[in-house]
Amino acid sequence: MTINVVEKVDDLVPVRHVLVSVSDKTGLETFIPELLEIRPDLKIFSTGGTFARIGDILGERRAGALTQVADYTGQPETQGGLVKTLDFKIYLGLLTETYNEAHQGDLRRTGAVPIDMVVVNLYPFQETVARPGVTVEGARGNIDIGGPCMIRASAKNYLRVASVVDPEDYGSILRDLSSNQGATSLTMRYRLARKAFRHTAAYDRAIADFFAQNSADDARRCYTLAP
């Protein structure tokens, strides 16, 4: 595999498309309206309960600003929200580089758009396994797949994308956007990327530790085994 070495990036990247899918919805009621105050032309993609919450926050302003991820990708969510954001168009939007002509051609070919910010936090795995009597199956169902993938993809492409995993950072992000006419700075994106990778590393560590503390027999007891 040939690794592309990037030499040219933009310090300031205008935020035009944001993907929001969060378990912890703290702070959205101020963060989302202020994003739109700074960038009135902002397009927000969202899923499930987050989509409903943002719709409630925006009220009549949701028209033209808020889109279901499924409507953007053309792929409906699977039962129970099992698959929502694991889609080619989403990851093109996260991973494409501004000055890579092949990447830009892929965007045009698929009708995808660059996603400039991802606001994602994960299913509460640590909280789930801290409950008394939690089973291996109960823990398994709370392992987030799409969230870590989006966080890692956006953090890898800090060249252009802001990866937001902590509601505590909403204020500093808004200040960065306000100072830069609706664009994120490379300094902010890099700081967020470092935090994002720490976040997914801690999440994976918690999952690995839980399974290390439980045996295959613990798993077997959760199920009726088909012959």
Lowest mean pLDDT across 97-106, 119-128, 217-226: 119-128
Number of domains in the chain: 1
126 assigned to some structural domain: yes
Instruction: Write down the pLDDT at residue 172.
Output: 98
CATH number of domain containing 199: 3.40.50.1380
63 assigned to some structural domain: yes
DSSP string, 152-219: HHHHHTTTT-EEE--GGGHHHHHHHHHHTTTEEEHHHHHHHHHHHHHHHHHHHHHHHHHHHTS-HHHH
Which stretch of DSSP H or E encloses residue 12?
A: strand 12-14
3 assigned to some structural domain: no
| pLDDT average, residue stretch 61-89 | 82
226 assigned to some structural domain: no
Q: 151-200: per-residue pLDDT in tens?
A: 999 999 999 999 999 999 999 999 999 999 999 999 999 999 999 999 99
Q: How far apart are the first and last CA of the chain?
A: 43
Q: 106-148: per-residue pLDDT in tens?
A: 999 999 999 999 999 887 788 778 888 899 999 998 888 889 9
Question: Which of 13, 214, 203, 218 has the alpha carbon at shortest distance from 116?
Answer: 13
Looking at the predicted structure, is the pLDDT value of residue 81 above 70?
Answer: no
The C-alpha atoms of residue 5 and residue 47 are separated, in whole angstroms, by 33
Contacts of 86 (CB under 8 A, 6+ apart): 145, 146, 149
Q: Residue 91 corresponds to which tokens in the numbers above?
A: 């990851």
For residues 122 and 144, is the Cβ–Cβ distance under 8 A?
Answer: yes
> Facing residues of 44 across strands?
18, 66
Q: How confident is the model at residue 78 (pLDDT cuts 50, 70, 90)?
A: low
For residues 116 and 14, is the Cβ–Cβ distance under 8 A?
Answer: yes
182 assigned to some structural domain: yes
Instruction: Write down the pLDDT at residue 79.
Output: 57
Lowest mean pLDDT across 4-8, 36-40, 175-179, 185-189: 4-8
143 assigned to some structural domain: yes
| pLDDT average, residue stretch 100-105 | 92
Instruction: Write down the pLDDT at residue 38.
Output: 97
140 assigned to some structural domain: yes
**Percent of the residues in the chain that have a pLDDT greater than 90, as a whole number:** 77
- Chain centroid, CA 181 distance in Å: 23
pTM of the predicted structure, to 2 decimals: 0.92
Q: Which residue has the tokens 């839980």?
A: 210
Mean pLDDT of the chain: 92
SS3 142: coil
- Please indicate whether residue 226 or residue 28 has the higher confidence score (pLDDT): 28
In terms of residue numbers, what domain contains 184? 12-220
| pLDDT average, residue stretch 35-48 | 96
227 assigned to some structural domain: no
